[in-house]
Amino acid sequence: MNQKSAVLTVTSTSTFESAKAVNLDHFDLSSALQTTLDFNKLISIFSRKIERLIPHTAYAYSHTEFGVEIKNGVFTRNAYTYLLKLEEQMLGKLTFMNNRKYSQKEIKLLENLLCFLIYPLKNATQYQHALKMAYTDPLTQANTRTSFDDSVKREMSLAIRAGKNLSVIFLDIDHFKFFNDHYGHQCGDFVLASLAKCIRDSLRSSDLLFRTGGEEFVILLSDTDIDGAKLLAERIRMSIENHTLVFDMHAIKVTVSLGVSALCKEDTAETFIKRADAAMYQAKRDGRNRVFVAA
How far apart (Å, rounded) are the C-alpha atoms in residues 151 and 11? 39
CATH superfamily of the domain spanning 2-135: GAF domain (3.30.450.40)
Assess if CATH 1.10.1060.10 describes domain 145-293: no
Domain with CATH 3.30.450.40 in the chain: 2-135
Q: Is 22 helix (H, G, I), strand (E, B) or coil?
A: coil
Degrees, nearest 5: CA angle 82-10-20: 105
Q: Is 73 helix (H, G, I), strand (E, B) or coil?
A: strand
How far apart (Å, rounded) are the C-alpha atoms in residues 280 and 262? 14
Low-confidence ranges of the chain (pLDDT < 50): 25-26
Select which of 65, 215, 234, 241 is catalytic. Answer: 215
**Confidence (pLDDT) at 61:** 97
> pTM to 2 decimals?
0.67
Q: What is the dihedral of CA 30, 31, 34, 40, to 10 degrees?
A: -70
Count other C-beta atoms under 10 Å from residue 119's C-beta. 18
CA distances from 256 to 50, 88, 240 (A): 57, 44, 7
**Confidence (pLDDT) at 3:** 77
**Confidence (pLDDT) at 26:** 47
Q: Let me know if 104 is exposed, middle or buried by CB neighbors in 10 A (0-12, 13-18, 19+).
A: exposed
Sequence-distant (≥ 6) Cβ neighbours of residue 124 within 8 angstroms: 36, 37, 38, 39, 42
Q: pLDDT for 192-209, tens place per residue? A: 999 999 999 999 989 999
**Confidence (pLDDT) at 133:** 81
How far apart (Å, rounded) are the C-alpha atoms in residues 157 and 119? 37
Q: pLDDT for 169-193, tens place per residue? A: 999 999 999 999 999 999 999 999 9
Domain with CATH 3.30.70.270 in the chain: 145-293
CB 216 within 8 A of CB 170: yes
**Confidence (pLDDT) at 58:** 97
CB 170 within 8 A of CB 276: yes
Dihedral sign computed on CA atoms, order 67, 72, 78, 81:
negative
CA distances from 97 to 44, 63, 83, 104, 158 (A): 14, 18, 15, 15, 36
Q: pLDDT for 37-75, tens place per residue? A: 999 999 999 999 999 999 999 999 999 988 899 999 999
How far apart (Å, rounded) are the C-alpha atoms in residues 168 and 207? 10
Catalytic site residue 106? no
